[in-house]
Each structure stands twice: as C-alpha cells, then as structure tokens.
Structure 1
Amino acid sequence: MSGNAITPACAGTCLSVARCAWTAPDVGNPLPGTTCPTDGPLTAELDTPAQPTPPAAAGEPARRPGRRRVVVIATAVGLALAAVGGGTAAALSKSVTVVVDGQSQQVRTFAGSVSGALAAADQTAGDHDIVAPAVDAPVHDGDTIALQKAKPFTLDIDGIQQQAWTTADTVEEALVQLGQDPSAYQLSADRSREIPLDGLEVTASPLHSVTLTVAGAATPVTSGAATVADLLADQGVTLSPTDTVAPDATTPVTDGLQITVDRVLTATVTDTVEIPAPEQRVEDPNANKGTSAVTQAGVPGQQQVTSEVTTVNGAETARQETGRVTVKEPVPTIISDGTKSTLETRGNRVFFNDTEFGVNWDGLAYCESTNNPKATFYPSGFPATFGLFQFDLPTWQSVDGTGNPMDASPEEQLMRAKMLYQKRGLEPWLCRDAASGPPPA
C-alpha cells in the first residue's frame, strides 16, 4: 500500500446513533458497517488512480488488470481510532446505569440522549411509562436512568369499572394511586400481589360491619359480601333445609345489620314411660263394713312412646307423639272393702263398731246422742240438732243430706258424718274428744 494515503471521511448517513457505512468513491457501494467515532459522515478514498498490472515474474501467476484496489479496514473500531485517535473514541463512550422497575444494569453507549441509552439496554419507553430523566434529555457518563413500566389496571367497585395505567408494583399501591383506601375493601386479589406487565383486573367490595349470630353465639364480622347469602358463604356457615336465617338470604349487607341463623332440628325420639298401677276395689263379705285392706300390691307397667321432637339451637320447642307401645302391662292394686254389717241395736240405741279414719264413731255418737238415732236437742240461742251425730239442718245439707237427719237410717247418718269429717275433721262436734276414747259400754 506504499504511496496510497487513506483519507477518512463519512459518506451518506449513519445507520444509527453509533453506526455508519464506509464507502469507496470509485466503487460507490457501502462496505461493511462499523462504529462511527463522530456524528459526521465518513468515507475512505484511494488518492492514486488505478495502474496497469505489471507482468508476472517467471513462475508467478498473472495478475488481473483494469481496477483500482479498495482497501477495506476489517474492523470499524480500528478505522475509527485511525481516523480520530484512540483517546477521542474513549471519551465518546459512556457508562450508564439503567434501572427498569427496580432492576438495574450497566451499559456502555455512544448515545447522546436517554432514548439512545435505553436502546443500548434493549429497552423502549412506552407512552404511559415513566422515565427519568426525560427520553430527550442528554446523557452523560455515570448517569442513572430510571424506567418504570406502566401496566393496564382495571378496578371494579360495585359493578363500576375504572381503567387506568399504573406504574405501581402491587395491588395495594395501585389502589392508593387511584385514590382508594385498600383497607376499606374486600379484594379479589391479595393486596401484596404483583401486577404483571400484561395487566390485572381487581374487584373491590366495600367492607361492612355486621353482627352474625349462629345458634345463639354472636360474632362481630367485617365483610365485603354483597348479600346475606354471600356473607354466610364467606364465613363458612352452611344452612340445613330446616335452618332459618333472618333477614332473608337475599338481603343486601349494610353497616350494623343483625344476621341471625337458628339451627332447627327435628328428630325421632323414643322414651320409656311408666304406666301407673290401676286400683281395683272388691267387696269382702267376711270383713266388717267400713273396713278395707290391700290384698294385692300394684306394679307399674311400661310403654315406649315415639315422638317427633323439634329443637332450636339445642332447646326443645315442640314435641308431637307419633306412637305408643306397651312393653309391660301394669299389675293393679286390689283393695278389699268389708261389707259385713256391724250394726248392733240395743233398744233405741245403735252401735256401729266402726273405727274408719281412726275415729271411734260409736264413742262420738254416745257423747252426742247416747247412740240414739232419733235424739233431738234445742240449745238456747243455737239451731236445733238431730240424730246420732246431732246435725243441724244447714250442716246436714252441706253433706248432701235431705230432710231431717233423725229421719234418715242409722247407716246414712254415719255415712254423712264421715263425709263431714273428710271435709272438716272433728271440728264441727263439741264431743270431738270422745271420738278417740273407748267405745261405750
């Protein structure tokens, strides 16, 4: 190449901020591109016209004549250094830190602006992205460029959608950017969930404070559920077909709402119940009239009773008997009543030989009437009294007696006296002390 000087200069336009085409004027076609040391055009020319090709020496192959040789520098960096000097090229190269969504990388670039530096980091700023400094700002060695990628974000609150672009990393940050309080909503996505580059749609339900009472146990609940049914589902409360809920499951949830779930159960229950021993009375002609004796002790029986029992929150509220079966018949209590007459007549005096209820009836009659069924007495200032037990007429009528007591049979007079005793004890008789004494002689 002796005698041929290369004058570097740019031909045409650079292919990018840091690239251009090298050309030779006699050829007119671009040579392989390489790095431009300056922003101006650069070409390489041969300043000596083409010479005929000399004959080949003996034993050498013949050379092709007719064209000038084009000297191509293989590497652009080498040519650039030859053109402008190594120190100048190094000065044009910059080291820049590019931070994309918090992730940083170091790049070297000849670019003069932020957009060129981003391109060197294989990044592009979209219309909604945030870049600092601005994309058209100049870039210097050691600069840091921050790029926050914007993502589509859709927020649905009670069916009303709000669409926006956000540079927030999480759902919570995006809500704050949109002027919403994340703690006031129940969200379809976790608050800490990262928003992907292709975007995210989040449903936000306003929170309400209610009281939920299940089977008598009350619990304060904060929920974003739209209806009572939704709230029960959120709380894991399952209703059986017999349970009741108030208010109705379709009721919208509002602050202060009182929700009550009653657990209603209906079950078939079988109980064993006792059948009381019945009482049977029989006459005993061999026992004195007015005496009684138990001749057979009773034994209770048993029945199985089937019922449908309804409970609300564990407390029985209704019972309907559906069946009854006797599994053990009761044994009756048998009482023998004496029918043998003990009436004894001595002239106009009558003796009963009767001590029923522990009363000496003959002793009482003796004191009242000397055992005379026809006795009468007219005390001064008091009603007249008649018969064995000296009934006055109003007292006789109080035990269903009719007529005059002394006209009734001795047996009826004794029967009415026993009826009066069962009502008032011995209180009506002045001779009450004689009722406990020995029988008259």
Structure 2
Amino acid sequence: MFKKPEHKKFLLVGLLLVALLATGFAWQRKTVTLTVDGQCRKVATFASTVGGLLKEQGIIVQPHDKVKPARGQHLAEGLLVVVQHAHRVTLTVGPEKPRSLVTAAPNVQQLLQEQGISIGAKDLVRPSPDTQLLDGLKIQVIRVTEKEEKQAVSLPYTTREVPSTEMARGLTATLQRGQNGLAERTWRVVYHNGREVERQLVGTRVLRQPRPAVVRVGTAQSISRGGQDIRFKYAVEMVATAYSYTGYRTASGHSPRYGVVAVDPRVIPLGTRLYVEGYGFATALDKGGAIKGKRIDLFVESHRQASRWGVRRVKVYVL
C-alpha cells in the first residue's frame, strides 16, 4: 500500500535528471558560420573554441595562414570564423625583378594592399585585381606613363614644269629653286615600365610652307644649223673632251676617224647617230675607261686640235 507512491517518486526524479542532462547538452551545441578560402557554410558544433572547431572539421592551419578570430577564441552562437590559406605567388612591380611571396590575401587586390603597392590611374594589373590567389600565380603591375613629344619634320616641295618650245626636248632649266617647308608634329607616346609601346600622332602645325620649284622643260625636236633643219629625239648636256689617233681600233671595231665619238653605252648606246654642238654629226662607236656617265670623247685629226678643244660642256642631240 505504501510502496507504490515511493516508486512514483523515484520515477519523477529520474525523468528530471534526464531532462537536465538533455538541456545541458543543448546548451553546449551551437551553430557557427565557417568560411574557408572564400567558401562559406553553416556548421553545428560542440567545440568550445575556434581551434577546437578547426580540429573537429579537419582543417589544417599552417604558420602563414590566417584565422579570424584567433584559435583561442571561445565559440558563440552565430560566430563567423574565417580561414584563409596562404599561397606562394610571384609578384613583379614595374621594371623591378620578380619576387616570390607567401601570402594569405584572398585576391590580387588585397595582396597589393598588403604589400603597400599603390596603383596609378593608368597602371595595368595582370591578372585583374579580383582574381583569387592560387599557388604559382604570376602577378604583374605595369607602370603606364604618357608624354607628348614634339618633332620637327620637313615638308617636301613640289615641282611645277613650264613647257618651252625654245628649248630642246630632254633639256631643263630651273626658273625657281624649290624649298622644303617645316612642320611640327605632336605625338602622344605611351610607355610600359619605361619602354615605348604606342605612338599616336595628335596634331601637326605648319611652321613654314614649302616653296615649289619651277622648271622650264624643253619640247622642241628640231634645230637649224648652217641652213639645215636637224630633227632629233632628245638632247643631253654632256662634258666633251677630244682625242686623236691612238693606233687602236674603236670598241666597235671601226677605224677612228672624224665623226667617231666615245660614250658610256649605259647613257648612249653604241651605234647611235648624234649631232654634237660645235663638232657636227657623229656616231657613237667607241667607249673608254674614263668615259662614264654624261661624258663624250670626240675624235679629231691631231693632238693639237684635241688640246685646243680642251674640256667643255656641249649639247648632244640624239637623232
């Protein structure tokens, strides 16, 4: 009769102990946010510290890695725990030599901030600042500068030809000498790490206009000498000398005689018929080692005549 109430009393005490134990375990369990290298997830844990949480999750932390808050920090409901593993990267700034770094910065931009590297408005960062860091990543900061350069340039003159029936075809005379003009060009030059990579013309200012040359150009194809009209293809001004008998035949195999002249075949082909001012009709049948370019050597009957001729400029008409 009296044992039954005693049994109920013990049962109530047991239930109370179980509830107390369950409530205690619930107090120890908490949910935190864990971010590892930018990857975020919710974690339910019974760990009491950040270090215990990392151990529980199997996350290994090296000396250069970053953990926030510190591993000794007690965990609380809703706490944010951030782990950023370090990476070995190569950084080159401007013309400097590349350097190897171990950093826990999450991306390129934060690495540059960590290293105290300022980026100019025109500087280039490769890869882009928001690129996540990985082992072996090569980062380059290109220093970009621009400047204007002035350049003086010559403006070539033009030539205006004035036809003249009073001059033989092939001959010209300068009526006005040409003069080049002068201009100033402005260039925008872009440099990457001190080396030119782009040049753009942004303006030209004329300082002096060019002055054209004026040249009289002969068109006549006939002359009158000794009452005889002589028609020709064109005329050439040449330096004329004279020679007499040498004991040798000409280059074309003919015997030298009056009317045989020596020329440079590159200027006047052998066999060409000519009229030489002050000499008369002639044929180009000879050549000589000293007869180069616009030179002509005229055969005369004696050394005295050759000496008397000397060296003079003549008009040679190609018939």
**Structure ranking higher on relative contact order (CA contacts 8 Å, 6+ apart):** 2
Answer 1 or 2: which has greater strand percent. Answer: 2
TM-score normalised by the chain length of structure 2: 0.49
TM-score normalised by the chain length of structure 1: 0.38
